[in-house]
Structure formats: structure tokens, C-alpha cells
Amino acid sequence: MVPRPSWDDYFMDITQRVATRSTCLRRQVGAVIVLGKRMLATGYNGAPRGMPHCDETGCLRAELGIPSGQRQEICRGLHAEQNAIIQAALHGVSVAGGTIYVTHQPCITCAKMIINAGIERVVCAHTYPDELARSFLAEAGVVLDPWVPEAQSDTAPEAGDGGKPG
């Protein structure tokens, strides 16, 4: 019998699938917010509702020669974390105390939104060169856990629920 995946592996697999909905021409990013081993909201990077996406209009950042990691506000799209938090708010779902799984470490803007939303843990598959975001998360007591797939680790933690009883 094949062993069941850890909760982190399970939710990160879903997060990676969510990222395939992204319409960003530079990087596909997905996010899943979980509380008590239950998914509350998902998000991927893309344009606001009802507006054309970058895969239709082209990348404004590329056209202006803006390097990755700089001037995030000059972009047609919202980040995956932003979209997940907005979706939860739109539907009246509190994410306080939850964990957000993301394919890429949050930027400083998303880190501030995660802090204010009351999310307690961030699990990311890929790091991002934003030390300020890391320091804000740490200062606010939000745990930033790089994801190590169970098959690559000696021990598979049964996390994934932000330490909340399931």
C-alpha cells in the first residue's frame, strides 16, 4: 500500500495545481489557505475580475523592462496570496489562525496582508529574494516554513493545519 502524503505534501500538491490557472507570463503562482485541515480559499496570480489577463494583453512589466522583485505595483495582476485572501473575504470566511501554502515565498506586500489577515503559518515551495518580507513575517510571529516534500525528508511533519486541532 502506498503511504498517505503528509498534510503539507497534500496541500502543496493542490497549491501547485491551483498555480496552473495563472495567466502571468513570467511566473505561475498558486496559494491555498487552510485551517483545521480544511481548505478555505485558493488563489493564483492574474488580472482583477472582468479585466483582460496578461496572456491576452502582454506583460506590462516586460514591456517597461522592470526586473523581477522590483516595483510589484506596476503589474496588471494580483498575487496569488492576495487573490486567496480576497476570495475568503468576499465569501465571509475568516482565515485567522490558518496556514497559507504558496508555490513561491510571499513578497513584502503579500506578507503584510498575510499578517493582517491573521494567518499564522506560511509554507512555500520556492524562496524569493525578499528579506524584508521574511523579517516582517518573523517580527509578527508568522512561521515561514520552506516546503520539503516528504520523499526528500527523513521525517515528515504532520503539520499543515497551523498547529490547530483537526
Catalytically active residues are 81
Beta strands in the chain (DSSP E): 30-35, 38-44, 99-104, 121-126, 143-146
Q: Which residues pair with 42 in a beta bridge?
A: 32
Proportion of the chain in helix, strand, coil states, percent, rounded to 5: 35, 20, 50
SS3 category, 146: strand
Helix 80-90 / helix 108-117 crossing angle, nearest 10 deg: 30
